[in-house]
Amino acid sequence: MTDPRLTRLAQGLPASVPFVGPERLERMRGAPFVARLGANESGFGPSPRVAEAIRAAADEAWMYPDPDMHALRNAIAAHNEVAPENVMIGEGIDGLLGNLVRLLVAPGDSVVTSVGAYPTFNYHVTGFGGVLHTVPYTGNFEDPERLVAKARETGAKLIYLANPDNPMGSHHSAHMMRNLVTNVPAGCLLIVDEAYIELAPQGTALAVAPDDARVIRMRTFSKGYGLAGLRVGYALGARDLIAAFDRVRNHFGVGRVAQAAALAALGDQDWLAQINARVADSRDRLAAIALENGLVPLASATNFVAIDCGADGTFARAVLDVLATRGIFVRMPGVAPLDRCIRVTCGPDNQIDAFAKALPDALAAARRHA
């Protein structure tokens, strides 16, 4: 039953959540997964310096975190060659998206995204009463021209685009992204979710003036840096917009251990380079495994590969379900036509081996039931 004291807006919200965690699936199946390849985490782990930093920070866990996040904010600013005032750190990109939507989207305001793009962004938009308008992907790509056209048509406050894209793994060039920025309608803000940017080809990152008010870029320590468990993301944007987060954010939201770990991760760019090499190898292995099984791996600029299973969403879902029964956790896009794919995260060889071993049977079983 819904509590009758909820606001009208809250009464109308679905009780559903953006993602079911693999831990719940493990509880349902009564056993842990053999391979955890569904959440685009970094199975290669963070830099050894991070573990050191976490262990050192354990002794400071009794102290509230610095709400200014001064050391980490300055380090992120220096790393990205912007001023600290262009940086806001939050509880993952998820937390930052929530606050950004809250700041810009009043009930009834329009927001534009692609069909099948990031569910948690949609969750926040709906959660604050925004009206989602969607455009389809063009092939395996989010389509900047369609997004802009829809934003003009609907007078949107926000456009969301991930580059590289999740769940398809595709990416646009920095040049194409620059064109997109140029075309953002007045009064609208473009969110470029660069969660996977550290794993993308050099030059993919959007290059704009730090105080360009047309765009806000989102980054995370959850993917390349391997710190999904600590919840640290950041936004890069114009200082007036960045300053506005202070009006609504949970100031102590990013913990002390998390800040220390992220600082250590940022400081070990050599580790990130090694991760990039390992992710590239793993992508190649996943592509080969797909091809060996008669499936089509999509080109990826991320730490996952979307594998086109060659039929519809029902078939891909069946493959996914059989994989789960074999202890392989992978996810898939939620809507057609993207849901012809399953999305497999890169990882250590033993994890990929387990996937390779289970896939032929999963395909056979899915075909029997098709």
- Window 228-247: residues binding a second copy (CB under 8 A): 228-231, 238, 240-241, 243-244, 246-247
Amino acid in position 165: D
Could you tell me the smallest distance in angstroms from the CB atom of residue 112 to a second copy?
14
Nearer to a second copy, 144 or 224 (CB): 224
Could you tell me the smallest distance in angstroms from the CB atom of residue 14 to a second copy?
7
Q: 274: helix, coil or strand? A: helix
Nearer to a second copy, 298 or 332 (CB): 332
CA 26 to chain centre: 22
Q: CA angle 75-79-84, nearest 5°?
A: 55
Report how far residue 367's alpha carbon sits from residue 358's, in angstroms, rounded to the nearest whole number.
Answer: 14
Nearer to a second copy, 227 or 344 (CB): 227
Strands 233-236 vs 87-90: parallel, antiparallel or unpaired: antiparallel
- What are the DSSP E strand ranges found in the chain? 35-36, 87-90, 110-114, 131-135, 158-162, 189-193, 215-220, 233-236, 296-297, 304-308, 328-329, 341-345
Residues 345-364 touching a second copy, rule: CB under 8 A, are: none
Could you tell me the smallest distance in angstroms from the CB atom of residue 291 to a second copy?
28
Could you tell me the smallest distance in angstroms from the CB atom of residue 9 to a second copy?
7
Residues contacting a second copy: total by CB under 8 A: 89
Instruction: Name the burial class of residue 63, with classes exposed (0-12), middle (13-18) and buried (19+) by CB atoms within 10 angstroms of its CB.
Output: exposed
Residues 92-111 touching a second copy, rule: CB under 8 A, are: 92, 94-95, 98, 102-106, 109
Encoded tokens for 167: 């769940």
Helix 349-369 vs helix 313-325: angle between axes, to the nearest 10 degrees? 130
Give the position of tokens 């992204």: 177
Sequential DSSP letters for 22-88? HHHHHHHHTS--SEE-SS---TT-S-HHHHHHHHHHGGGTTSPP-TT-HHHHHHHHHHHTS-GGGEE
Residues 16-45 touching a second copy, rule: CB under 8 A, are: 17-21, 23-24, 27, 36, 39, 41-45
1 counts as binding a second copy under rule CB under 8 A: yes
- Ramachandran quadrant class, 285 (left: phi over 0; alpha: psi -120 to 50; beta: rest): alpha
Could you tell me the smallest distance in angstroms from the CB atom of residue 361 to a second copy?
26
Encoded tokens for 366: 């899915």
Nearer to a second copy, 67 or 360 (CB): 67
Binding segment for a second copy among 78-86, 138-146, 252-260, 299-307 (CB under 8 A)? 252-260
122 counts as binding a second copy under rule CB under 8 A: no
Could you tell me the smallest distance in angstroms from the CB atom of residue 91 to a second copy?
5
6 counts as binding a second copy under rule CB under 8 A: yes
Nearer to a second copy, 64 or 202 (CB): 64
84 counts as binding a second copy under rule CB under 8 A: no
Nearer to a second copy, 265 or 298 (CB): 265
Could you tell me the smallest distance in angstroms from the CB atom of residue 304 to a second copy?
14
Could you tell me the smallest distance in angstroms from the CB atom of residue 43 to a second copy?
7
Residues 270-309 touching a second copy, rule: CB under 8 A, are: none
Q: 237: helix, coil or strand? A: coil
Out of 34, 80, 83, 127, the residue judged to bind a second copy by CB under 8 A = 127
125 counts as binding a second copy under rule CB under 8 A: no
251 counts as binding a second copy under rule CB under 8 A: yes
